[in-house]
Amino acid sequence: MKNIICLFKNIFLVTLLSTYMSQSKAQYTLQGKIIDMHQKPVECASIYLEPALQNTISNNEGKYVFSNLSKGNYKIHIAALGYLKMEREIKINKDTAIIFTLQESPTFTKEVVVSGSMYPVSKTESPIPIEVYQHNFFQGNPSNNLFEALQNVNGIRPQVNCNVCGTGNIRINGLEGPYTMVLIDGMPIVSGLATVYGLSGIPTSLIERVEIVRGAGSTLYGSEAVAGVINVITKNPDTSPKYSIEAFSSTWQDANMDIGINKKITNHTCNLFSLNYFHHQRIHDKNKDNFTDIPLQHRIALVDKITFQNKTHEEVFTLLGRYIYEDRWGGQTQWHKQLRGTDSIYGESIYTRRAELIGNLYIPHLKNKVKLQFSSTYHYQNSAYGTVLFIARQDIHFVQLVYQNRFKKHFLTTGACYRHTFYDDNTWATQKDRNSFLLNAPILTYLPGIFIQDEYKRNLRHTLLIGIRYDFHHQHKHIISPRVAYKWTSVNKKHTIRAHTGNGFRVVNIFMEEHAALTGSRVLVIDPQLKPEISWTAQTQYTYKNYLQDRHFFTFDINAFYTYFTNKIIPDYSNPDKIIYDNLQGYAVSRGINTAFNIVLDNGFSSNLGFTLLDVYSIRNQQKQRPLLTESYSTVWSIRYQHNKYGFTVDYTGNLYGPMKMPLLGPLDSRPLYSPIWTLQNVQFSKEWEIIKGHVELFVGIKNLLNYVPPVYSITRPHDPFDKNVIFDAEGNVVPTPDNPQAYTFDTSYVFASNQGRRFFFGLRYIW
């Protein structure tokens, strides 16, 4: 009996020990959902669990799952674009399901777009193809202005137009800068005279996001929206941090500083004040041509934005004011301001003053169906290009009344607008001959218009958009711009097809757009009977979006476009002494393909790769001609690795451009007709620390990693910038001489990239 009792006792102990061991090694599951404050799922949220060292990504329903977890205490980290980071202690002793609710970030916003249809809509729901770049995208390669920040956007190239003063414009799909409309908060602010230097006056610290619409957008936005629309959405005072400071500098001894102060005046009124200051006064001449490699600049920009809300905290009125002052110069390294406008030492000196006012008012008692938008800009430029003095002023006043309402499956947008432009300068373009006396005659442009657009959503899979616009130009009379767009989405929402066609028009003012007419020695010749350009654009986009094993996020886009121009105005540089502008007696085409790959992995790695193939040409006298300064292909990339546990990030960004046809000075010009393949690459390392009232971030890196700079012969005859030793014949043509066998004159138009070489940068961000 005693042996039997001992046997049962041993069996009981073994069973108890086995049970304990099995329970201690039990594997549990943690699953649940990530939602926002509106109970909507948050997709592509990065979720990290320690000490298990497991990562995952929420799927399109916001769901996540962790398997094979042991019993114990864990810490979960959740991060998603547009939301505040979350850290939470949890305990696992059984299979557990937890729903986490994220709060919207005061710094970033979700991908809500307004450019395609003039009202807020999710990017995935828009029938118009739109690209959205959030503020943190530009932080991967910090820049002091919008012009430089866009260099890593697929299909967009910031084009430097002058080797001396650094002026530039933004090209979309191979079309010149004047074909791109730049908006600030939906208002046509940067146009005309401001396209020359105004783009460098938009600091990236002001940007909440940038929306890009490719193709004709004249139906909603009027003239200039031919290649596309770039809409800069500024930060919202209601969601911006209370204080923010960002400062960075580089080994080229330039310095940039941004200060933001957000103050809640009342329960329904918020005010955001922003200061941007850029300073670069160090002369660099690394290519030894006795000219500054990049212009010296001194710029200050002040921004004040105020929002008013109603009792339900809906925004009813927004007012933004901005003032910019810039002093820049470039030229021979021994130039100084006392020599401005003289012919002893060459320099290009530009003073710019600019003021803007933008307002957006929802009419009370109409349930946000009617809004009044207005903007007013003042732009003054006092320039000296060698001995050529150019003083100009442009005022643009714009007002627009928009009505929007939903009727069952239709969403109607209609409105009326009026744009008034005043332009005056010191050239013959604003002079009239009256009885042998030259009188000043500023150019006044009146452009009223009306538009209507209907978005018909048959169901969740099919959307059709139809719109038309009518403008009356006081010189060119009636202008009609229609467009049609269609979107199809698969049942599983993985596949989307968009098709879009539309008409665009552009009225040209050469002096507002052609900087080459003022620098160098070429003479500008303009056909007095210039007609407005007309274009038709068609494009198709296919998007594939998927979650791989509910852990990795992947998208693929391919966009094919075709634009046909009539009356296209093309600058002719074939004469070495002239720039001739007239309407093309033929037609022009811009066509190509954009592709983009975007992948986000649960280990903190993400990448965005874009490739553009271009075929841009014109047909003149049955001969095909390739335009100047237009690449046949380009690629851009942004690669990021973010370590959630230690809070550091590595960014690798860059671009590569194919050969471009360059403007030569005649048959004796020995420089290559095409530029080489060239690339700009950048690396940044950043580390973030959480503090009591916010967070601080330190970043360091290298710009132009491979130290690529254009060839030294980009400027011809830099030793004789006033052509004092150039021989001309009776017709004004250059005569070759032993001192000048290539028949050169001083010229700065052979430019395709910045002369700024490799530089190290470092900076600090502090937000609380």
Residue 2 has pLDDT above 60, yes or no: no
What percent of the chain has pLDDT above 90? 39
Higher pLDDT, 298 or 365: 298
> What average pLDDT score do residues 45-61 get?
78
Q: Is residue 700 part of a domain?
A: yes
Domain termination residue (choose one: 101, 134, 160): 101
Cis before 721? omega within 30? no
Q: Is residue 151 part of a domain?
A: no
Q: What does the pLDDT read at residue 707?
A: 95
What CATH number is given to the structural domain containing 371? 2.40.170.20
Q: What does the pLDDT read at residue 523?
A: 62
CB distance 326 to 144 below 8 Å = no
Tell me the average pLDDT of the chain. Answer: 83
How confident is the model over 7-17, as pLDDT tens digits?
444 544 444 44
pLDDT band at 325 (very low <50, low <70, confident <90, very high): very high
Beta bridge partners of 217: none
Q: Supply the range of the domain harboring residue 706.
A: 234-429+457-767
What is the count of structural domains for the chain?
2
pTM of the model: 0.82
pLDDT winner (highest mean) among 52-61, 152-161, 331-340, 743-752: 331-340
> What average pLDDT score do residues 626-642 get?
92
Higher pLDDT, 80 or 488: 488
Largest CA distance in the chain: 139
Closest listed residue to residue 353, CA positions, set 201, 203, 204: 201
What the block records as the tokens of 266 is 């009342």
Q: Is residue 567 part of a domain?
A: yes
> What average pLDDT score do residues 339-359 get?
93
What CA–CA distance (Å, rounded) separates 483 from 504?
9
Q: Is residue 609 part of a domain?
A: yes
Q: Is residue 191 part of a domain?
A: no
How confident is the model over 113-159, as pLDDT tens digits?
655 555 566 677 788 888 888 888 888 899 888 888 888 888 888 88
Residue 162, amino acid? C
> What average pLDDT score do residues 648-673 get?
93
What CATH number is given to the structural domain containing 71? 2.60.40.10
Question: Nearest-5° angle of CA 277, CA 283, CA 288?
Answer: 145
Q: Is residue 645 part of a domain?
A: yes
Residue 575 has pLDDT above 70, yes or no: no
What percent of the chain has pLDDT above 70? 85
Residue 80 has pLDDT above 80, yes or no: no
Q: Is residue 546 part of a domain?
A: yes
Q: Is residue 356 part of a domain?
A: yes
Query: Which DSSP symbol is given to 728?
Result: B
CB distance 217 to 272 below 8 Å = no
What CA–CA distance (Å, rounded) separates 469 from 482?
6
How confident is the model over 457-468, as pLDDT tens digits?
888 889 999 999
Residue 1 has pLDDT above 50, yes or no: no
DSSP code string of 291-317: B-SS-EEEEEEEEEEEEEE-TT--EEE
Q: What does the pLDDT read at residue 340?
A: 94
Domain termination residue (choose one: 79, 101, 123): 101
Domain termination residue (choose one: 101, 131, 153): 101
pLDDT band at 504 (very low <50, low <70, confident <90, very high): confident
Element (H, E) at 15: helix 2-24
